[in-house]
C-alpha cells in the first residue's frame, strides 16, 4: 500500500476485508478485561493495510482523544486532544464521511501536535466511526510516502470503522477507555517560562483555533484559471492588510508604536515581493490560491520551527496568524474564536498577536501557552496589558482541561491545577496583602525617599514599553533609571532609521513630562536576539557576539541611535547608558562614535543639549576591576546585578539545573558591589543599581548600607522599596553592612541578614 502510483497494480492481490474483520473479532474475544484491545487492533490494521501509522480517536464530551496508535509516539496517547471543529480528524466528523488528503501538512485544517512526531508523514486518511447514526470516534491512517488511497482501501476502512464503532459502544470496553482518559481532580503543579509578572486565579478557558477554512477538493486544480485565482488572492491579501492596519491603529492608540509595529511588520510580509512571487509561481502551476497560501506560508513556518533559537521559533506563530487571516479572507469563512469574550485563565497552544491584542484584561486573569517564550510578540503584549502569563509549558498543557481551577504565577512561571486549599489561601493572602499594601503605600507616592537620618536615595523605574510610562507618577518614580531600547528593533524585519528612532524617543520624553529618562543603548544578543541584525545563532550567546561588542564592529548602527537620542535631548532631560563595557578600549571607542554623532548633528544644524550625562553599566568582572579607571571617563555608573551575578559566579540564570547557584548574597558579589560604590564615593560620581536586586525589599538595606544612592526597578516595586528605606537608619545600615563584608560564606551572610530584616519586618 506504500506505492506512489494512483492506481493499484493489477498484479497485487485484493485486500481481504473479511479476514481483517475476523482478526479484529478474534482480538476482542481474547482480550483480558484489564487491557485495552484497541492497541492490538490499530497494529493489526496498520500491517493489514501496509501503512506507517494507524490511530484511533475516541469522542468524549465533544473532544477527540487519541486512545490507541501504532506509529505515532506512545506518549501522545491520552495527551493529544482536539475539538471536533479542529484538525483533519475532526473534519471527518463534520463531513460524516472519509477525509483523504495527499499532503496533510499543507491543508489548512491540519493541526500539528509536536508530541506525536508526525511531521514526517504525508498522506492522511480519516474515517468516522458510526454506531446507529451516532459518532463514537475516528480511525486515521498515515504514510511517509505520498499515497493516493484506492476505492477498495477506503471500503475496507469503512468496514473496519463499522466494526469498531460497535466495539467502542460495548460497556466493558468503554469503561476501560474511560479509565484510560479519566481526569482526576488531583492537585498538580506545572512549570513554564515566566513572561509577564503577577498572578491570576480562575477557571481554565481554552482558546481554540476555531472552524478553519476548507480548501478546494484536492484534484480539482486542473480546472482553475490562474489569472482568476491570482486576482482572488490579491483581493484577499488587500483585505488581510486592511484588517492588520485596523489592529495596528488600535494598539497605537492604546499603547505605543512599539506594540503596533507588530502588525506593521505583518503587513510588510504581505507586500514582500519575494513572497508574492512565490505565491504567483504556485498559482501558475495550476494550484488554487488557497493551496498556494497554505503551502508557501507553511514552508516558512516549517523553516522557522527548525531553527534552535527561541526568538525565531516564536516568529512561526506570527506566520500562522497571517496564514489564517489570508485564508479566511480568501475563502469567506471566518473563524468563530472570540478571544475578547474569553474569561478566566486563557489556555492556548500558542497565542498569535492579533488574538492577544483583543484580550480584555478585566476578564482574562492569566495566560498559559504550550509554545512561546519571553521574546514572543504575544508575551510582549501580555506585559503591556498587565496580564500574568506563563508560556512554553509544552506537552504538560494536556494535563489542563476546560473548567479546571488554576493559579497562574507569571513571576515564577508556576501553574497550579486544582490547587490545594493551603495554596489557594496563600495566594488569596498575597492578593489581599498586595491590595492593602497598594492602598497603604500609595500615600508615599509623593513623599521623598529618605532614611530616618536623612540619607537621600533616588528611586526610578525600569521601563521596556511605552505604556509603562503611565505608571511613573502613580507609583512615585523620580524618573526612568533604565529605558530598554531593544523592543522596536525586535519587532521589525529591518533596522529602524534615525527618523523612526527619533520619533519614538521624542514621544517617550514628552510622555515623561520633565522626568529624566536614562536610555540604555541597544543591548542586542544573548537573551535578546534581533532578526534584522542578521547575527548567527551561537552556542553560548551570553559570552558571544552581543551588545557593545556587536556595535563596535558595526558602528553605523550605534551612531544612528546616538544621533536620534542626541536630537531628543532638546525635548527633555535624558541620560545615556552604555551596556556591557569590559574595559577602557570599549569605552573610548564608544565615546569616539558619540563625538562623531555630535559633530555630524552640529554640521547639519540639528539642535541637541550641549551636555548629556553619559554613563556605563557595570556587568562583567573586568569592569569591576577597572572601575576606578572607567569612572574617570563617565558621569555615572549603573550596576546590572543580573548579569554581574551571572558572569561572576559562572551561572546561566536561565538554566534551572544551576539556578540555585545564582546567589546575590554570595560574598564575591557583595565584595564587587562594595568595590564599585567605594570607587564612586572617592570620585564623587553617582552609583546606581538597575538589576533585580534594586527592587527586592530584602536586599535594599544591603544596597543602602553599601552607599548606593540610586535604585531603578519595576514601577510597582517603588512604593514598597520606599517604605523600607524610610524605616532605615543609614549609619546603622552602613555599620551592619561592614560586618557582612567580613563574612566568607553565604550561610554566614544570611545569619547576619535574617535577624536584621526581621527587626524591620521586611519580607
Do 459 and 597 have their domain in common?
yes
d(CA 175, CA 181): 10
Find, among 391, 381, 564, the residue nearest to 487 by Cα.
381
CATH number of the domain at 662, please.
Answer: 3.20.20.60
Contact 375, 310 (CB under 8 A): yes
pLDDT of res. 220: 42
What is the mean pLDDT of the segment spanning 132-146?
84
d(CA 168, CA 176): 10
325 and 346 in a common domain:
no
Q: Please give the C-alpha separations between residue 188 and each of 324, 343, 407, 656, in angstroms, as whole numbers.
A: 34, 22, 11, 19
Measured N-to-C along each axis, helices 257-270 and 226-254 cross at an angle, to the nearest 10 degrees, of 170
Dihedral sign for Cα 256, 257, 262, 267, please.
positive
Nearest one of 112, 482, 567 to 298, comparing CA atoms: 112
> Are 195 and 177 in a shared domain?
no
Would you tell me how many other CB atoms lie within 10 Å of the CB of residue 247? 20
Task: With cut-offs at 50, 70 and 90, classify the pLDDT of residue 248.
Answer: low
Range name among 450-464, 585-599, 748-762 with the lowest pLDDT average: 748-762
- Looking at 399, 432, 465, the residue that finishes a domain is 432
Among 432, 461, 496, residue at a domain's last position: 432
Beta-sheet strands, E only, within 430-490: 458-463, 480-484
Answer yes or no: are the C-beta atoms of 337 and 208 closer than 8 Å: yes
Question: What pLDDT is attached to residue 335?
Answer: 45
Q: Say if residue 197 is in the same domain as residue 242.
A: no
d(CA 74, CA 116): 8
Task: Identify which has the larger pLDDT, 179 or 214.
Answer: 179
Of residues 495 and 211, the one with the higher pLDDT is 495
Closest Cα partner for 627 from 703, 664, 682? 682
| 275 in any annotated domain | yes
Q: Name beta bridge partners: 326.
A: none
Question: At residue 312, does pLDDT exceed 70?
Answer: no
595 burial via Cβ count (<10 Å: 0-12, 13-18, 19+): exposed
Q: What is the pLDDT of residue 405?
A: 85
Residue 30 has pLDDT above 50, yes or no: no
Q: Return d(Cα 371, Cα 82) in angstroms, integer.
A: 16
CATH of residue 133's domain is 3.30.450.40
Q: Are residues 307 and 350 in the same domain?
A: no
DSSP 8-state assignment for residue 338: -
How far apart, in Å, are the Cα atoms of 589 and each of 555, 564, 724? Answer: 9, 19, 40
The model's pLDDT over 516-527, given as tens digits with 9 standing for 90+, comes to: 999 999 886 554
744 pLDDT above the threshold of 90 = yes
Q: Is pLDDT of 44 > 70?
A: yes
* Sheet arrangement for strand 389-391: 188-191, 414-417, 405-409, 199-206, 344-348, 364-369, 389-391, 193-196
Q: What is the DSSP string of 708-749?
A: --EEEE-GGGHHHHHHHHHT--HHHHHHHHHHHTT--SHHHH
- Cα dihedral 294, 300, 305, 311 sign: negative
Question: What letter does residue 445 receive in the DSSP assignment?
Answer: T
The residues facing 124 across adjacent strands are 101, 142
State the average pLDDT over residues 291-312. 69
User: Do 411 and 470 sit in the same domain of this protein?
Assistant: no
Name the band, by pLDDT with cuts 50, 70 and 90, for residue 563: very high
Confidence of residue 460 (pLDDT cuts 50, 70, 90): very high
In this structure, the strands spanning 134-143 and 199-206 are: unpaired
Q: What is the CATH number of the domain that holds 425?
A: 3.50.30.10
Whole-number pLDDT of residue 10: 36
pLDDT digits (tens, 9 = 90+) for 650-677: 987 655 567 678 899 999 999 999 999 9
* CA max distance for the chain: 99
On the question of pLDDT at 12 being above 90, the answer is: no
pLDDT reported for residue 482: 93
Q: Is the pLDDT of residue 31 over 50?
A: no
- Does one domain contain both 494 and 623? yes
Q: How far is CA 242 from CA 155, 230, 237, in A?
A: 47, 18, 9
- pLDDT score of 542: 63
**In the chain, % of residues over pLDDT 70:** 74
Residue 263 clears pLDDT 50, i.e. is over it: yes
Is 614 in contact with 686 (CB distance < 8 Å)? no
Are residues 56 and 148 both part of a single domain?
yes
Helix extents (H) in 684-717: 700-706
Phi-psi region at 62: left, alpha or beta (left = phi > 0; alpha = psi -120 to 50): left
The number of domains in the chain is 4
Q: Give the residue-averaged pLDDT of 192-211.
A: 73
Compute the distance between CA of residue 582 and CA of residue 579 in angstroms, rounded to an integer.
9
Answer whether residue 218 is part of any domain: no
Q: Give the mean pLDDT of 463-490.
A: 81
Contact criterion met (CB below 8 Å) for 540 and 667: no
pLDDT, mean over the chain: 78
- Please give the average per-residue pLDDT across 173-200, as a whole number: 67
On the question of pLDDT at 683 being above 60, the answer is: yes
Nearest one of 365, 65, 448, 6 to 219, comparing CA atoms:
6
Is 700 or 237 the better-scoring residue by pLDDT?
A: 700
Q: What is the mean pLDDT of residues 205-225?
A: 48
Q: Sorting pLDDT into bands at 50, 70 and 90, what band is 148?
A: confident
* 413 Ramachandran zone, left/alpha/beta (phi>0; psi -120 to 50): left
pLDDT in tens, 69-98: 888 877 677 778 888 888 889 999 888 888
Residue 213: inside a domain? no
Is the confidence at residue 175, as pLDDT, over 70? no
Specify if 214 maps to a domain: no
Q: What is the pLDDT of residue 11?
A: 39
Q: Which residues are catalytic?
A: 377, 690
Whether residue 221 is predicted with pLDDT greater than 60 in this model: the reply is no
Helix axes 718-726, 421-442, angle to 10 degrees: 70
Q: Is the pLDDT of residue 688 over 90?
A: yes
The reported pLDDT for the residue numbered 495 is: 80
**What does the alpha-carbon distance between residue 505 and residue 485 come to, in Å, rounded to a whole number?**
9
Q: pLDDT exceeding 90 applies to what percent of the chain?
A: 29
What is the pLDDT confidence band of residue 561, given thresholds at 50, 70 and 90? Answer: very high
Considering only residues 308 and 454, tell me which one the structure prediction assigns the higher pLDDT. 454
Over residues 177-191, the mean pLDDT reads: 63
Are residues 317 and 349 both part of a single domain?
Answer: no
Q: What is the DSSP string of 67-131?
A: EEEESS-GGGTTT-EEETTSHHHHHHHHHTS-EEESSGGGSTT----GGGTGGG--EEEEEEEEE
pLDDT interval class at 200 (50, 70, 90): confident
CB 558 within 8 A of CB 595: no
Please give the pLDDT value at position 311: 47
Q: Are residues 493 and 413 in the same domain?
A: no
Is residue 273 domain-resident? Answer: yes
What CA–CA distance (Å, rounded) separates 591 from 626? 17
Q: Higher confidence at residue 658 or residue 340?
A: 658
What mean pLDDT do residues 561-587 have?
95
Determine the pLDDT at residue 172: 37
* pLDDT for residue 280 is more than 80: yes
DSSP state of 544: S
- Please report the pLDDT score of residue 499 as a whole number: 93
Question: Given this model, what pLDDT does residue 540 score?
Answer: 61
User: Average of pLDDT values for 550-557?
Assistant: 84
Specify the pLDDT at position 97.
Answer: 86
| Mean local confidence (pLDDT), 6-30 | 47
Residue 25 has pLDDT above 70, yes or no: no
Q: Are 317 and 371 in contact (CB under 8 A)?
A: yes
Residue 304 within any structural domain of the chain: yes
For residue 622, tell me if it sits in a domain: yes
* Local confidence band at 216 (pLDDT 50, 70, 90 cut-offs): very low
Q: What is the pLDDT of residue 428?
A: 77
Alpha helices (H) in 470-554, listed in sequence order: 487-490, 498-512, 547-553
Residues 6+ apart with CB under 8 A from 613: 575, 576, 635, 636
pLDDT digits (tens, 9 = 90+) for 701-743: 999 999 999 999 888 788 889 989 999 999 999 999 999 999 9
Question: Are both 418 and 465 inside the same structural domain?
Answer: no
Q: Are residues 360 and 263 in the same domain?
A: no
Closest residue by Cα to residue 111 from 84, 137, 93, 138: 84
The candidate with the shortest Cα–Cα distance to 756, out of 694, 692, 704, 688, is 704
The secondary structure of 297-308, three-state, reads: HHHHHHHHHHCC
Instruction: Report the pLDDT averaged over residues 380-398.
Output: 78
CA distance 441 to 190: 33
Domain boundary among 381, 405, 432: 432
The answer to whether 628 and 607 have CB atoms below 8 angstroms apart is: no
CA torsion, points 58, 64, 67, 72, in degrees to nearest 10? 130
CB-based contacts of 64, cutoff 8 Å, min separation 6: 57, 58, 81, 82, 83, 84, 86, 87, 89, 90, 93, 137, 138
Range of weakest confidence among 106-110, 212-216, 643-647: 212-216
Alpha helices in 519-666 (DSSP H): 547-553, 555-568, 584-604, 621-625, 627-630, 641-649
- Cβ–Cβ < 8 Å for 435, 682: no
- When computed from its CA atoms, the radius of gyration of the chain, rounded to whole angstroms, is 30
Residues 6 or more apart whose Cβ sits within 8 Å of residue 662? 645, 646, 649, 651, 653
Going by their DSSP bridges, the two strands 193-196 and 344-348 should be labelled as unpaired
The answer to whether the CB of 76 falls within 8 A of the CB of 42 is no
Is 265 among the domain residues?
yes
Task: Determine the pLDDT at residue 276.
Answer: 86
Domain span including residue 240? 224-331
By residue count, the chain amounts to: 763
Range of weakest confidence among 483-487, 638-642, 686-690: 483-487
pLDDT for 344 equals 82
pLDDT tops 60 at residue 396 = yes
Amino acid at each position: 500500500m506504500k506505492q506512489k502510483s494512483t492506481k493499484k497494480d493489477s498484479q497485487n492481490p485484493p485486500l481481504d476485508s473479511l479476514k481483517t474483520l475476523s482478526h479484529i473479532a478474534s482480538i476482542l474475544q481474547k482480550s483480558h478485561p484489564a487491557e485495552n484491545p484497541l492497541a492490538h487492533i490499530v497494529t493489526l490494521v496498520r500491517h493489514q493495510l501496509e501503512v506507517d501509522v494507524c490511530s484511533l480517536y475516541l469522542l468524549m464530551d465533544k473532544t477527540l482523544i487519541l486512545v490507541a496508535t501504532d506509529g505515532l509516539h506512545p506518549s501522545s496517547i491520552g495527551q493529544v486532544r482536539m475539538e471536533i471543529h479542529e484538525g483533519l480528524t475532526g473534519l471527518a466528523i463534520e463531513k460524516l464521511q472519509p477525509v483523504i488528503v495527499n499532503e496533510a501538512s499543507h491543508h489548512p485544517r491540519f493541526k500539528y501536535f509536536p508530541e506525536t512526531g508526525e511531521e514526517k508523514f504525508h498522506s492522511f486518511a480519516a474515517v468516522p466511526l458510526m454506531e446507529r447514526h451516532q459518532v463514537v470516534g475516528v480511525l486515521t491512517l498515515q504514510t511517509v510516502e505520498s499515497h493516493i488511497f484506492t476505492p477498495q482501501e477506503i471500503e475496507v476502512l469503512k468496514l473496519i470503522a463499522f466494526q469498531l464503532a460497535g466495539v467502542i459502544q460495548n460497556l466493558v470496553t468503554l469503561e476501560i477507555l474511560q479509565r484510560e482518559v479519566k481526569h482526576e481532580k488531583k492537585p498538580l503543579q506545572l512549570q513554564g517560562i515566566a513572561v509577564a509578572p503577577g498572578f491570576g486565579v480562575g477557571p481554565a478557558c481554552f482558546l481554540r483555533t476555531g472552524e478553519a477554512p476548507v480548501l478546494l477538493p484536492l484534484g480539482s486544480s486542473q480546472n482553475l484559471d490562474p489569472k482568476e485565482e491570482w486576482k482572488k488572492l490579491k483581493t484577499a491579501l488587500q483585505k488581510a492588510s486592511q484588517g492588520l492596519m485596523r489592529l495596528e491603529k488600535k494598539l497605537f492608540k492604546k499603547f505605543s508604536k512599539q506594540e503596533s509595529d507588530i502588525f506593521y511588520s505583518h503587513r510588510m510580509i504581505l507586500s514582500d515581493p519575494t513572497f508574492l512571487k512565490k505565491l504567483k509561481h504556485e498559482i501558475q502551476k495550476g494550484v488554487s490560491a488557497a493551496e498556494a497560501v497554505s503551502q508557501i506560508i507553511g514552508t516558512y513556518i516549517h523553516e522557522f520551527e527548525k531553527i534552535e533559537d527561541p526568538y525565531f521559533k516564536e516568529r512561526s506563530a506570527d506566520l500562522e496568524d497571517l496564514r489564517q487571516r489570508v485564508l479566511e479572507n480568501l475563502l469567506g469563512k471566518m473563524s468563530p474564536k472570540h478571544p475578547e469574550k474569553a474569561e478566566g485563565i486563557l489556555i492556548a497552544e500558542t497565542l498569535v498577536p492579533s488574538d492577544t491584542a483583543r484580550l480584555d484584561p478585566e476578564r482574562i486573569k492569566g495566560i498559559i501557552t504550550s509554545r512561546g517564550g519571553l521574546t514572543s510578540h504575544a508575551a510582549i503584549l501580555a506585559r503591556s496589558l498587565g496580564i500574568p502569563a506563563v508560556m512554553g509549558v509544552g506537552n504538560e498543557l494536556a494535563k489542563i482541561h476546560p473548567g479546571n481551577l488554576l493559579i497562574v504565577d507569571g513571576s515564577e512561571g508556576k501553574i497550579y491545577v486544582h490547587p490545594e486549599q493551603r495554596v489557594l489561601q496563600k495566594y488569596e493572602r498575597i492578593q489581599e496583602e498586595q491590595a492593602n499594601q497598594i492602598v497603604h503605600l500609595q500615600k508615599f507616592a509623593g513623599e521623598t525617599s529618605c532614611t530616618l537620618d536623612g540619607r537621600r536615595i533616588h528611586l526610578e523605574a525600569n521601563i521596556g514599553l511605552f505604556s509603562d510610562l503611565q505608571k511613573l507618577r502613580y507609583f512615585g518614580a523620580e524618573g526612568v533609571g533604565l529605558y530598554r531600547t531593544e523592543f522596536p528593533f525586535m519587532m521589525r524585519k529591518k533596522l529602524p532609521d534615525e527618523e523612526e528612532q527619533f520619533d519614538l524617543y521624542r514621544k517617550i520624553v514628552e510622555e515623561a513630562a520633565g522626568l529624566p529618562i536614562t536610555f540604555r543603548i541597544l543591548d542586542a544578543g544573548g537573551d535578546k536576539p534581533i532578526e534584522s541584525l542578521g547575527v548567527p545563532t551561537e552556542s553560548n550567546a551570553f559570552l558571544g557576539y552581543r551588545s557593545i561588542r556587536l556595535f563596535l564592529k558595526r558602528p553605523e548602527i550605534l551612531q544612528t541611535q546616538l544621533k536620534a537620542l542626541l536630537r531628543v535631548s532638546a525635548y527633555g532631560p535624558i541620560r545615556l547608558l552604555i551596556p556591557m563595557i569590559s574595559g577602557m578600549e570599549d569605552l573610548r571607542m564608544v565615546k569616539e562614535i558619540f563625538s562623531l554623532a555630535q559633530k555630524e548633528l552640529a554640521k547639519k544644524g540639528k539642535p541637541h543639549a550641549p551636555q548629556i550625562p553619559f554613563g556605563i553599566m557595570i556587568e562583567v568582572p573586568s569592569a569591576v576591576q577597572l572601575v576606578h579607571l572607567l569612572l574617570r571617563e563617565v558621569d555615572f555608573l549603573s550596576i546590572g546585578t543580573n548579569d554581574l551575578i551571572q558572569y561572576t559566579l559562572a551561572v546561566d540564570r536561565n538554566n534551572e539545573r544551576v539556578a540555585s547557584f545564582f546567589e546575590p548574597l554570595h560574598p564575591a558579589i557583595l565584595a564587587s558591589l562594595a568595590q564599585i560604590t567605594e570607587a564612586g564615593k572617592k570620585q564623587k560620581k553617582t552609583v546606581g543599581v538597575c538589576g533585580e536586586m534594586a527592587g527586592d525589599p530584602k536586599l535594599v538595606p544591603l544596597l543602602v548600607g553599601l552607599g548606593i544612592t540610586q535604585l531603578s526597578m519595576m514601577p510597582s516595586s517603588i512604593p514598597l522599596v520606599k517604605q523600607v528605606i524610610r524605616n532605615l537608619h543609614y549609619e546603622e545600615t552602613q555599620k551592619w553592612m561592614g560586618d557582612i563584608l567580613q563574612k566568607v560564606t553565604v550561610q554566614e551572610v544570611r545569619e547576619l541578614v535574617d535577624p536584621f530584616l526581621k527587626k524591620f519586618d521586611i519580607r
